Amino acid sequence: MPRSLSGRNFLKLLDFTTEEIQYLLELAKDFKRLKRTNTPHKYLTGKNIVLLFEKTSTRTRCSFEVAGNDLGMGVTYLDPASSQMGNKESLEDTAKVLGRMFDGIEYRGFDQDIVEDLGRYAGIPVWNGLTTEFHPTQMLADVLTIEENFGRYKGLKMVFMGDARNNVANSLMVVSAKLGINFVACGPKDNMPDAKLVATCRKIAKENGCTITLTDDVKKGTKNADVIYTDIWVSMGEPAELWEKRIKLLSPYQVNDAVMANANPEAIFLHCLPSFHDLETSVGREIYEKFGLKEMEVTDKVFRSPQSKVFDEAENRMHTIKAVMYATLK
C-alpha cells in the first residue's frame, strides 16, 4: 500500500512511485464501477476546486468538471481571458490567493515550470492538466484502457508514432518505465524525446524490467506491438507555420493499415484526442486545401476500426481524474 497521497500535487509521473500510480489506477476502477452503477459518491462535499485553462480543452475540462460534481465539490472554471494571472497579477500572488479560497487547482498551459511554481506557492494540491512537457492525467486513462483490453499492462509493448518529443510521448515514456511497459518512440531521428529524460526513464525502466527504445524504423518499431499510440503533429501553443514541416517529417509515421498489420493481431489503437482523421474539422479542411491531406496522424479507417479504443480512453479520463482528485483531497 503506498503512503497517503493526501495533500500531494499531481504535476508529473516522475514524482510518483510505481505503487502510487497503481493505487490511483485501482481507485479509478472503483470510481468507474460506482459511476456505471449509478452509485452516489459525493465523498468531497463542501470542497471547492478551480480549473485554470490557458489552452483549450474538451476532455480534460469536462473530466475535471464532471468528476468534481460527482464528488460533491463546487467547480470554478477560469479561462485565460477571465483571470488576472500573468497579466495584472503574478503567478505567485495568484497561487496564494486561490490557495486561500479553494481546496485544489487544475492548471493547463505552457511551461512545466508554471505548474511546478503553482504547486510550490498554492499550499493546496495542484493538478497538471497538460503542459508543454507533460500530460500526466492522460497517462492514467491510457493505462486503464490498456488494462481493460489485455487484463494487464506489465510486459506489453507500446509504440508511440510521430511527434515523439511532445508532452504525450514524454509522459508515455515515463509511465511505461514506471509500470514495466516496453516503450518504443517511433519517429524521425531528430525529433526524439529529450536525451536527459530518456536517460532518466531508462534507469527507471531497468528497475522495472522493461525497455525504452528510440527508432526511426516503422517496421522494426511496430513489429508485434500491443498498443499503437499517436497524437496530433502540431501541438497547442506551437505556431501554425509548423504544419508544412511536420507533415513532411511525420507522414511516414502515420498510423495506417500497414502499421496495424505489422503489430500484434490483438493490438489496440490509442490516441489522446483530438485527432485529425477526416475533414470534419476546420483545421483538417485547411490542411487539405493547402497540402492535399485528407487524414493525418491516423487514417480514418484505423480510427474507426474495432481495434481503436479511443472513446473508452476518453471516458477513462473522467474516472482517473476523479481518482487523482479524491486521493489528493481526501
Question: Residues with catalytic annotation?
Answer: 108, 135, 138, 231, 272, 317
166 binds, among ligand CP, ligand NVA, none (CB under 5 to 8 A by kind): ligand NVA
- Distance CA(320)–CA(38), nearest Å, equals 17
The grid coordinates of residue 171 equal 509522459
Between residues 8 and 135, which has the closer beta carbon with respect to ligand NVA?
A: 135
94 binds, among ligand NVA, ligand CP, none (CB under 5 to 8 A by kind): none
How many chain residues bind ligand CP (CB under 6 A)?
A: 9
- Distance CA(29)–CA(149), nearest Å, equals 14
Between residues 181 and 270, which has the closer beta carbon with respect to ligand CP?
A: 270
| 22-61 footprint of ligand CP as x/- string (CB under 6 A) | -----------------------------------xxxx-
Residue 136 Cβ, how far from ligand NVA at the closest point, in Å?
12
58 binds, among ligand NVA, ligand CP, none (CB under 5 to 8 A by kind): ligand CP
For ligand CP, the binding residues in 266-285 under the rule CB under 6 A are 272-274
Strands 227-230 and 268-271, bridge-based pairing: parallel
Residues with Cβ within 8 Å of 185's Cβ and at least 6 positions away in sequence, in order, are 159, 160, 164, 169, 173, 192, 193, 212, 213, 214, 215
- Distance CA(128)–CA(234), nearest Å, equals 20
Between residues 28 and 168, which has the closer beta carbon with respect to ligand NVA?
A: 168
Residue 21: closest CA among 158, 120, 153: 153
The grid coordinates of residue 133 equal 512537457
Residue 142 Cβ, how far from ligand CP at the closest point, in Å?
10
Handedness of CA 250, 110, 204, 13 (dihedral sign): negative
Residue 3 Cβ, how far from ligand CP at the closest point, in Å?
28
Residue 2 Cβ, how far from ligand CP at the closest point, in Å?
25
Which residue number has the CB closest to ligand NVA? 235
Residues with Cβ within 8 Å of 31's Cβ and at least 6 positions away in sequence, in order, are 41, 319, 322, 323, 326
Return the DSSP state at 190.
G
Residues that bind ligand NVA (CB under 6 A): 130, 166-168, 231-232, 235-236, 272
66 binds ligand CP (CB under 6 A): no
Between residues 130 and 263, which has the closer beta carbon with respect to ligand CP?
A: 130
Between residues 57 and 145, which has the closer beta carbon with respect to ligand CP?
A: 57
3-state secondary structure of 151: coil
Residue 163 Cβ, how far from ligand NVA at the closest point, in Å?
7
Between residues 74 and 274, which has the closer beta carbon with respect to ligand NVA?
A: 274
Between residues 106 and 295, which has the closer beta carbon with respect to ligand CP?
A: 106
User: Cβ(75)–Cβ(68) under 8 Å?
Assistant: yes
For ligand CP, the binding residues in 120-149 under the rule CB under 6 A are 130, 138
Please state, as a whole number, how many other Cβ atoms lie within 10 Å of the Cβ of residue 284.
19
Residue 325 Cβ, how far from ligand CP at the closest point, in Å?
16
Which of left, alpha, beta for 227 (phi over 0: left; psi -120 to 50: alpha)? beta
Residue 12 Cβ, how far from ligand CP at the closest point, in Å?
15
User: Cβ(16)–Cβ(324) under 8 Å?
Assistant: no
3-state secondary structure of 169: helix
For ligand CP, the binding residues in 206-225 under the rule CB under 6 A are none
- Interacting residues with ligand CP (CB under 6 A): 57-60, 130, 138, 272-274
